[in-house]
Amino acid sequence: MSNSISITKEKSKYSKNIIAYSVALVIFLVALWLSSQSEGPSKFPKVVTDEFTFTAWVNEGEDYLKKNYRWFTKIIAGYIKAGYYFLEDFLLDSPWVLVTAILFLPCLAVGGLRLALYSLFVVYFWGGTGMWNESLQTVALMGLSVVLCVFFGVILGVLCSQSDRFEAFMKPILDTMQVMPAFVYLFPALFFFGIGGAPAILATMIYAMPPVIRLTNIGIRQVPAQTVESATSFGSNKLQLLFKIKIPLSLPSIMMGINQVIMMALALVVLACFIGAEGIGGQVWLAIRNLDVGWAMEGGLCILFMAIMFDRFSMALSKEPEVIPNDVQKFYLLPQTWERFVIARIIEKPLEYGHYIINFICIKITNSVAYLFQILISLFSKSTAKDIGEFISNRYYIIPSFIIFFIISFIDSNLFSFGSFPEDWKLSIRQPIEDGVKALTVHPGFIAFAKGLRGFVYLNLLRPLDIFLTHIPWWYTMAIFVAIGYFTVGIRFAIITALLLMFIGACGIWSQSMITLSSVLVSVILCFVIGVPLGVIASYNKRYRDIQNVVLDAMQTLPYFCYLIPVLMFFGGGIVSAVLATVIYSIPPIIRLTALGLTQVSGTYSEVSRSFGGTLIQTLRKVKFPLAVPSLVMGFNQTVIMAFAMQIVTPLIGGKGLGLEVFNGLARSDTGRGLAAGIGIVLLAIIIDRITLAWTRKQREALGL
Amino acid sequence: MKISKTISALILSSLLVISSWGSAHAKRLTAAVADWTGGEITCQVAVSILEDELGYKIKRVVFPSGTGLWEAIAAGEIDFACESWPSYAEADTVMLKGPLVYDGDTKFMYEGDGSVKLLGTAGIIGMSDYYIPKYAADSLGIKSWKDLNKHKDKFATIETGGKGRLIGCPVAGWNCHDQKRLDLLGIDFQADELGTEAAAIAEAVAAYERKEPFLLYLWEPHWFFGAYEMVGINLPDHKTCDSFTEANNWKDCGTKAWPATGWAKDYTMNYGNPATFAKAEHADAVKFFSKMKFENADQAVMLVEVKQKKRDLKEVVAEWKKNNPNKWKSWLP
């Protein structure tokens, strides 16, 4: 009895699948027929596009705002600019030794000897490659953005944590801030806040602030109820509760937020070279414009090393100090696990003594300074004096650091000047990279491969899909999207989808969006073809996975601008290169989530399958993959979003579609045109994002996860 | 411990900023770096003279050329830009006011609103055209643009299908209107916009090495002509079309006027923000710009140094300044 039921169930599921597939096939065939029938690219009815002059409205609105409110935005920009110039001048005019010390000492104090040595290497790399000034400009831009982000972010986060209504109000705003490609507001910002530092910093704030708001909010909300209760029972009022209990306890979470802010700010600050902000981004762009791969690579590495340094620094800030048993020697330079080797212990011994000596000196100096302060201030008030004395002597790195800074600037201004970074210490990897690339580009085998790949991607994927998508009548494409939206998410979403697509069409950028869509689809397909096997390998081999994770971490740290470089090296400019750059940028999530999904499938499932005699492939195909589908779809989702984000920079190497529209808008100072295209990218990304998310949820429910 | 560490690091960094000292303020100007190599050289010549001889501190801003740059200058975000080619600037007739003088002759009288100041000629005289390699012109017998359609299949690539391919103007903001020109002249080619000068040239070099026919948009002076033999395809002589503007929805004047013609001879100029250069402290800079006249021959030599010999641009300009003091000393106020 039960058997027959399960069979019919199986049957009905089977036939349901058949129906679904055949419906999809019919839809596809009709689309194919329609697109082959149409003469040229499908155009939105002229009546609509002529009436719906979004571009003109935006430009008129902008003119109005410019005329009437620019004085206000200019004042804000003026303050930010003043702060930025101040910081920049300070960094650029200081002797290089002082700048090095400013980066080195906090790293030493917070991250230990390893990070400190790394910071020396980073500083040397900036100077050695001749990008000293540019690197410091980027540091200044990023530093100021981070400070402002953290300041406003923490305030907003605290407000969110105190009021549910405010949190509900902020949530959609934060979502939009995170999804919107930065370019869309980057260049209207230009017209209100001027060129250079100020709009870059403000745009960075929009882009990088959400995590710190979110994490502050979460951190405060997660403070245990018992703690709050006991504090209240001791008579704390609401403000005391907030500042003495809740915020200090949520500091780790806030620090996590700051870490993310730093990384995101760095990515955007580099991109801001398009609106005239100085720094390494400008160098990389110049290098790309000159097709100078070595130069671009040096710039990219400067950014990468800088990013890793700040990442580790902020991580160290939020991490608990390691507790090491008393009988074990603490290692400062080598990995702690090497403790079992005698040689390592011998090497570490002097470092340990050095640490003790420096510590001793620092504490003595700090204590005497603290004592001095205590005496001075105790003339006025005894209790404050004690507090301040304690405050100073608890932070025994600060005073000595300042003494060192002071000594350096004293020597520089009175004895001999250090000047800028010594030119003899040049380190250049331009020539070897250039030579390597040249050698590879004339290598006949590689030429054949590159040409073959280019031809294959263009002829078999890109062109057919371009023609197919642009030639299908717009109403048909729209109907398909709406139908998918209806079946996966619901009626409300279907209506929204229709409206959003209507907007794209009415702006007159339908065919450009289809080209963008096809570039993204091709990129995502390639990501899948390359990424899923890599993920599968990673799920079986732990050592390979560890190595791959390091590479992927580095890839995700690098601003997306830098991905144009390797492609440019080997494939030159053109629409295929744009697709390949997109693939490189957006592949990490699919690799990561494939590996994650497959390793997370609990051992019992695969063991059961094995014990029933399933081969490795069978287990993978029949058991692991189906169970890993939600994770795979998540990877797909993230890859798609990243591929859309990349469309903004690919026009630099020959990309087409909406990204090019954004660029042309910028070059022609036509904000409306750029904004319409930018919104187009956002809308396509949002539609696809929501559909895949809803689908994942359904899959999860079906699997009972 | 952890919190104190955090706070101490934060205090450390903030104190640093507060305790830092401001620098003495030099005369500051912001200059846009051009996005083609010739313009970059001209700009570096001007900037290095302002910096080394007139005591300026110049901020170089990388900004795409086009109408956006003109608006940024009018708004005072950027103080000046160098070597604007009038044929490429749609904004010049709207925003400039006054005569463009070259060698004492008034070459053009601008009657715009004066929101951007014409600082004077840059000296470079530019010419633009479409070019094909000499070997292709000889073997196919192409004498002018009228012969192109006969051989369009030889100029085709996988990307263009049946049409020929023009490696077109790389940046849309330059307003070359390549596709429009091809269509108006009835040349069945497709214009490819590759995003950067470098990418377009890279394509051209690769095609030349393979001895394939190709059609290339290019301008003189350019180092490419020193290295490769190219011939122009004699586009019809330039004739202006007043209605062909974005404001007028690109209403063209048919096949007899721009953009169905070639480019005019470009007397290039430097331009800047009127308010900035009206200030007394910049009087020297104004005088310098009015005298500056950088010549094609000089730029051509430096282009070869920079692009073919891959030398640092600033170094090449510094060297030129050292070896030819007589050429630029006369531009000083």
Sequential DSSP letters for A60-125: HHHHHHHHHHHHHHHHHHHHHHHHHHHHHHHHHHS-HHHHHHHHHHHHHHHHHHHHHHHHHHHHHH
DSSP state of A536: H
Exposed e or buried b per residue across A513-537, where buried means at least 16 C-beta atoms within 10 angstroms of its C-beta: bbbbbbbbbbbbebbbeebbebbbe
Q: How confident is the model at residue A1 (pLDDT cuts 50, 70, 90)?
A: very low
Q: Are strands B105-111 and B97-102 parallel, antiparallel or unpaired?
A: antiparallel
Would you tell me how many other CB atoms lie within 10 Å of the CB of residue A325? 6
* Domain termination site, one of A269, A287, A318: A318
Is residue A181 over pLDDT 70? no
* Domain termination site, one of A285, A318, A351: A318
Residues A386 and A462 in one domain: no
A283-297, A526-540, B8-22, B161-175: lowest mean pLDDT where? B8-22
Q: What is the 3-class SS of A279-336, one letter each residue?
A: CHHHHHHHHHHCCCHHHHHHHHHHHHHHHHHHHHHHHHHHCCCCCCCCCCCCCCCCCH
Is residue A393 over pLDDT 80? no
**Residues A22-68: pLDDT tens digits?**
888 888 888 888 777 777 777 777 777 777 778 888 888 888 887 78
- Pairs of CB atoms within 8 A across A/B: 169
Task: Tell me whether B173 touches chain A (CB under 8 Å).
Answer: yes
- The CATH superfamily holding the domain B127-256 is Glycine betaine-binding periplasmic protein; domain 2 (3.40.190.100)
Q: Please tell me which of the candidates A87, A317, A670 has its beta carbon nearest to residue B17.
A: A87
pLDDT of the residue at B285: 92
Within-domain flag for A402:
no
pLDDT of the residue at B2: 45
Which chain B residues contact residue A102 at CB under 8 A? 16
Residues A386 and A455 in one domain: no
Is residue A587 over pLDDT 80? yes
Within-domain flag for A427:
no
pLDDT of the residue at A630: 77
Residues A255 and A148 in one domain: yes
Residues A340 and A288 in one domain: no
Within-domain flag for A572:
yes
Residues A577 and A636 in one domain: yes
Question: CATH number of the domain at B27-124+266-329, please?
Answer: 3.40.190.10
CA–CA dist B333, B325 (Å, integer): 15
CA-wise closest residue to B178 among B190, B186, B188, B160: B190
Angle at A632 between CA A627 and CA A633, to 5 degrees: 110
> Amino acid identity, residue A297?
M
Is residue A442 over pLDDT 80? no
Cα A61 from chain centre: 32
Residues A265 and A356 in one domain: no
In DSSP notation, A198-235 reads HHHHHHHHHHHHHHHHHHHHHHHHTS-HHHHHHHHHTT
Token reading at A120: 């020396």
Task: Tell me whether A186 touches chain B (CB under 8 Å).
Answer: no
Q: Who contacts A630 (Cβ-Cβ below 8 Å, separation ≥6)? A: A597, A696, A699, A700, A703, A705
| Residues 520-559 of chain A whose Cβ lies under 8 A from any Cβ of chain B | none
Residues of chain B with CATH 3.40.190.10: 27-124+266-329
Within-domain flag for A516:
yes
Identify the residue with better confidence: A566 or B11.
A566
For chain A, the domain total comes to 3
Q: Please tell me which of the candidates B16, B64, B202 has its beta carbon nearest to residue A572.
A: B202
pLDDT of the residue at A151: 92
Angle at A392 between CA A389 and CA A394, to 5 degrees: 105
Is residue B95 over pLDDT 50? yes
Is residue B321 over pLDDT 70? yes
Q: How confident is the model at residue A593 (pLDDT cuts 50, 70, 90)?
A: confident
B67/A654 touch (CB, cutoff 8 Å), yes or no? no
Residues A270 and A358 in one domain: no
- Distance from the Cα of B44 to chain A's closest Cα (Å) equals 14
**Residues A70-91: pLDDT tens digits?**
788 888 888 888 888 888 888 8
Helices A671-703 & A54-93 angle (0-180, nearest 10): 90
Identify the residue with better confidence: A110 or A523.
A523
- Distance from the Cα of A557 to chain B's closest Cα (Å) equals 23
Within-domain flag for A130:
yes
B59/A191 touch (CB, cutoff 8 Å), yes or no? no
Residues A362 and A284 in one domain: no
- Distance from the Cα of B39 to chain A's closest Cα (Å) equals 13
Residues A313 and A343 in one domain: no
Token reading at A575: 């629409």
Residues A200 and A131 in one domain: yes
CATH, residue A133: 1.10.3720.10
Domain that residue A645 falls in: 443-703
Residue B273 contacts residue B139 (beta carbons within 8 Å): no
A668/B68 touch (CB, cutoff 8 Å), yes or no? yes
CA-wise closest residue to A524 among A579, A467, A484: A579
Task: Tell me whether A402 touches chain B (CB under 8 Å).
Answer: yes
Angle at B31 between CA B28 and CA B37, to 5 degrees: 145
Residue B130 DSSP SS3: strand
Tokens 């020597």 belong to: A411
> Amino acid identity, residue A497?
T
Per DSSP, helices labelled H in B20-133 are 37-52, 67-74, 92-95
CA–CA dist B83, B124 (Å, integer): 7
CA–CA dist B266, B129 (Å, integer): 12
Residues A384 and A248 in one domain: no
pLDDT of the residue at B81: 93
Tokens 């169905």 belong to: B260
Residues A231 and A82 in one domain: yes
Q: How confident is the model at residue A621 (pLDDT cuts 50, 70, 90)?
A: confident
> Amino acid identity, residue A12?
S
B203/A321 touch (CB, cutoff 8 Å), yes or no? no
Mean pLDDT of all residues belonging to chain A: 81
Task: Tell me whether B313 touches chain A (CB under 8 Å).
Answer: no
CA–CA dist B147, B145 (Å, integer): 5
Residue B257 contacts residue B239 (beta carbons within 8 Å): yes
| Mean pLDDT across A564-589 | 81
B12/A653 touch (CB, cutoff 8 Å), yes or no? no
A395/B11 touch (CB, cutoff 8 Å), yes or no? yes
Residues of chain B with CATH 3.40.190.100: 127-256
Task: Tell me whether B35 touches chain A (CB under 8 Å).
Answer: yes
Q: What is the 3-class SS of A487-523, one letter each residue?
A: HHCCHHHHHHHHHHHHHHHHCCCHHHHHHHHHHHHHH
Q: Please tell me which of the candidates A106, A655, A663 has its beta carbon nearest to residue B12.
A: A106
Residues of chain B above pLDDT 90, percent: 30
Angle at B200 between CA B195 and CA B206, to 5 degrees: 145
ipTM over 0.90: no
